[in-house]
């Protein structure tokens, strides 16, 4: 999972896409996952960290992980494999 580099996130779970003006609210667990992704961790490392910090079964995590990814993809927040980024250079 790789968030687009211009996507802004906050600890409180606020997500902002500056290309579209869309904003979203993530629950605390999703916010934690996004923070780890923004920090550069890959999927395996994020999942390992979540299993360590939260009382969640690996199977449940996998299911929720897939749901989260599907939503992020729907909302156009992820870098898709082979896709080109647009509009990276105008932020002050």
Partner 1 sequence: MPTPHSPLPASNTRPRLTVAVTGLNATDSPGPGVAVIRALRESTDFDLRIIGLSYEALEPGIYLRELVDKSYQLPYPAAGTAALLARLAHIREREEVAVLIPNFDAELFNFIKLEPELRALGIHTFLPTLAQLDARDKLNLAAFGAAHGFSTPASRPLHSAFEITTAAETLGWPLVLKGRYYDAAVVHSLAQAEQAFARLSGLWGMPLIAQQFVAGQEINIAGLGDGHGRALSAVPMRKLTITDRGKAWAGITLEDEALLALARRFAEATRWRGGFELELIRTATNELVILEINPRFPAWIYLTAAAGQNQPAALLRLALALPVPMMEGYAVGKMFVRYAWDLITDHTEFQQVAALGEL
Q: Return residues touching partner 1 (CB under 8 A).
A: 6, 8, 16, 18-21, 86-92
Closest separation between CB of residue 35 and partner 1, Å?
19
Q: From residue 23, give the alpha-carbon distance in Å to each of 28, 33, 36.
A: 16, 17, 19
**Considering beta carbons, is residue 8 or 53 the nearer one to partner 1?**
8
In angstroms, the CA 1 to CA 79 distance is: 8
Cβ nearer to partner 1, comparing 6 with 49? 6
Rg (CA), the chain: 13
Least distance to partner 1, CB of residue 92, Å: 4
Tell me how far, at minimum, the Cβ of 38 lies from partner 1, in Å. Answer: 16
C-beta neighbour count of 87 within 10 angstroms: 9
């Amino acid at each position: 999972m790789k968030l687009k580099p211009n996507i802004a996130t906050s600890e409180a779970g606020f997500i902002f896409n500056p290309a579209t003006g869309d904003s979203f609210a993530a629950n605390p667990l999703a916010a934690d996952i996004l923070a780890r992704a923004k920090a550069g961790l890959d999927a395996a490392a994020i999942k390992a960290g979540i299993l360590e910090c939260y009382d969640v079964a690996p199977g449940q995590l996998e299911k929720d992980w897939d749901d989260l990814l599907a939503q992020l993809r729907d909302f156009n927040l992820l870098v898709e494999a082979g896709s080109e980024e647009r509009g990276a250079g105008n932020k002050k």
